[in-house]
Amino acid sequence: MSLEQTMGFSSNTAQAPGGKSGAISQTDADFSATSDWSRHEASIRAKGSYYRSIAGDATELPSASVEGSLRLDLIDGWKGTATGGYSYETDTDTGTVAGKHVATGSLGISREAGIWQFALRGVAERSIYEDGLTSRKDQNNTYYGAVGRITYAANPALSPFVEVEAGIRRHDLTVDANGERRDSQVQALRGGIAFDQGEKLNGEISVGWQSERFEDKNLKDLGGLTFDSEVNWSPVRDTNVRLFASTKFDGSSTAGQNGSIVTTAGGEVNKAVNDRLELNAGISAEHSRFDDGTASETVYTASGGFRYWLNRYMALTGTVEREWLSSDDKAKEYEATSVRAGVRFKR
């Protein structure tokens, strides 16, 4: 469990075009627990963040998530899994700060013995949107899907796999405020490699294609390449590197628009200089491509910081972060640089 409180200054407290400078505060909390049973495993992780401006533009950006999982070790390499989770995040593209609630759940079974390994799971995701300047209830929807995966594990250190997904998305309102039917069918095919060389190098890399076909014939199918990867690498002792990439499809409530494809990629580095001092740095980019030909945009983030541990439970922290948005529509562009310092507690 950890709790960190920092305060500082931002050149753009609203993280938006025309934002004002001012003092800011950020609180971050993280909790995780894993069972120590000889067989089976249960785990839970919860985290939250609360960013607010003390001066400048009045801004509050809370976020939170919790996820639990249960693994049952059956016979002959078979395993059953169940997961459940909830997340809340804020969205400033609504003309005001509005939230999005997402609840997820899955049930699966897999066989992880032998050269050929199999996994099948059913997933459900419920999304609820808070109103911004206008109502967003016509975006509320539930997704039901099934994911199948086949892995060739002749070499445990390097295992290629193929994954297939199919699902349906159903909206609370059959016809939205624009008179369009946004219920859809989703299909995806991914292929990649999973690798495990212990703490030195582990993770998986995959690339694929996903498409979403809408019931309304006036809405064009949304489709494109997907990237889903996470690599953990320790090149030297006390240095850890994490590389990641992911793709998601975002729906739209604007008449005639089918949505956007959002691809995120980046990396993080953590270095323990000695028993007390830790250094960290990160960089990421989130690119949104709108399928209707409107302006695409990319949000870049770069940061660096330190933690100096006074004892096992308490550290002084400092962070410098820069965020900027580049868009084909220049009116959307902004830059924000922040400097924060604070204290971190850990148990």
Q: Is 14 exposed, middle or buried (0-12, 13-18, 19+ CB in 10 A)?
A: buried
Q: What is the pTM of this model?
A: 0.89
Pick the CATH number of 2-346 from 2.40.160, 1.20.58, 2.115.10, 1.20.140: 2.40.160
Domain spans of the chain, in order of start: 2-346
Q: Which of 157-166, 214-223, 227-236, 271-280 has the lowest mean pLDDT?
A: 214-223
The strand ranges marked E within the chain are 2-10, 22-34, 41-53, 60-73, 78-91, 98-111, 116-129, 141-152, 158-171, 184-196, 201-214, 222-233, 239-250, 260-272, 277-290, 297-309, 314-327, 334-346
* Residue 94 pLDDT exceeds 60: no
Q: Which is higher by pLDDT, 191 or 290?
A: 191
The strand ranges marked E within 92-200 are 98-111, 116-129, 141-152, 158-171, 184-196
Bridge partners (DSSP) listed for residue 50: 27, 62
pLDDT tens-digit series, residues 4-25: 999 999 999 888 888 899 999 9
* Residue 255 pLDDT exceeds 80: no
- pLDDT bin (cut points 50, 70, 90) of residue 113 is confident
Fill in the DSSP letter of residue 75. S
Q: Count the neighbouring beta carbons within 10 Å of the beta carbon of residue 238.
A: 11
- pLDDT bin (cut points 50, 70, 90) of residue 138 is confident
Bridge partners (DSSP) listed for residue 195: 158, 203
SS3 137: helix
SS3 29: strand
